[in-house]
Structure 1
Amino acid sequence: MNVQSAMTYQPYFIDGADRPTRWLITCDHASNYVPPFVSGGDLGIAPEDMARHIAYDIGAAGVARELGKLLDGPVICSNFSRLVIDPNRGEDDPTLLMKLYDGTIIPGNRHAGDAERENRLNKCYRPYHTALAELAARREDTVIVSMHSFTKALKGKGTRPWHVGVLYAADERLSVSLVKRLEERGDLCVGANEPYGGHLPGDAIARHGIAHQRPNTLIELRNDLIESEEDQINWARRLAPILKAAAADDGV
């Protein structure tokens, strides 16, 4: 977990801002860090819960960073827990500040009112999206790949069988071909809009991809498959050529 003061806090990190290709890799839920200006840096839940999928997308940042190297495109990663404020939600989404997630009550959010919501928007959410927007606008032909991970099973729910999921909604370019290319490997259980369906209004892809008619896809990897740095690198190496081939298939 990061150690930063309120004066030096940076709500996002960018790798390879000057990389030249059209690929832009994003990781909305890269970190489980709680900045010191949010409940004194502690949301009131146990360390083991802050290490779970409820606080961030385990392994996704490592895959994103390696994928950016392989595709020679910039990578932007959030630097705040999704429990602080979720950058993959619209500003008016009721789940922007989660009060209960997969059986865990979030005490630091239970009484967070409009003023606290605005504070987190201004210090975390909006700077991240401003930086993402600037990266996406650096070229007219930007392709956005959003990296996420999901847990094998939610509490009280059945096991999710997918190794990888591809999420898409209004714009099927890249994503449908990506699903097909992944399935052709023969060794993966691939979910089209699994374990979640499509996108939410106002989420990061809707805002930076669909609204600007940029080709995009959101990749969900099961987090037990990317826990180690080696696994993260291997998945990035697997995905990079498949993404290039899927883009060529669709002429994007």
Structure 2
Amino acid sequence: MSRLVGRTAVVTGASRGIGRAIAERLAADGADVAVHYGGGESAAGETVAGIERAGGRAFAVRAELGTAGDADALFAGLAGWLAGRPLDILVNNAAAAPTGPIETDTPEAFDRLFAVNVRAPYFLIQRALPVLRDGGRIITLSSAATRAANPGQTSFAMTKGAVETMTLTLASALGVRGITVNAVAPGATRTDANAPLFEAPGVVEYLAGLAALDRVGRAEDVADVVAFLASDDARWITGQVIDASGGLHLGSRGGLRLSARG
């Protein structure tokens, strides 16, 4: 496919997992992709090398998100790569992991979670706006945790609720420039980065049973949705949260079937 030929894209947290799959898919569609990483330089290099082997174009850029000056550091690293070209696509994928239930959470962990998951994407968007072309795309990864209560992910779900609100309001603010702003909400998604979490006996079967499509997600499932939103085919979609969870927590698949007459 070549629907993104000539476009430039930045994917944060693209060294592994869903971020890597998104970078690979955008590159396969023809985009030049900046692969952002925080500490995984080797993994980011593997992402870039894989894209190049497949005939795509990619570049690795480092910035530690959630720290002072992170947006400036990232865009300073992009300056030579962009070489005066506009940015077409910004994908805010990087996120800190859940820090546990409220009983064991700490102010330090809470602040770190919000710094990476909320403040960083917000100010990356602010920093991107002067170079983002009219008609560009902003896509932020949310989570199915915002619509299904999980006490072990309270603060994490709060951060994702924040970026969903950000998506709605920025879609309204930036629509006059033709910029679409959307979010994608994965559910249980098995990747190279989190594979050990799925290795305990019965975990995969349990999580698959919670999804209408009866399996756990793959990184490519999410990447394909992001690629659609990045394309011209999604030009009339903005301010939306697209569920990419395979129908997680839609309801029981084996419960009572009541007739229309009760």
TM-score category of the 2 structures, normalised to the smaller one: 0.3 to 0.5
TM-score by length of 2: 0.37
Higher relative contact order (CA 8 A, sep 6+): 1
Larger radius of gyration: 2
More helix per residue: 1 or 2? 2
TM-score by length of 1: 0.38
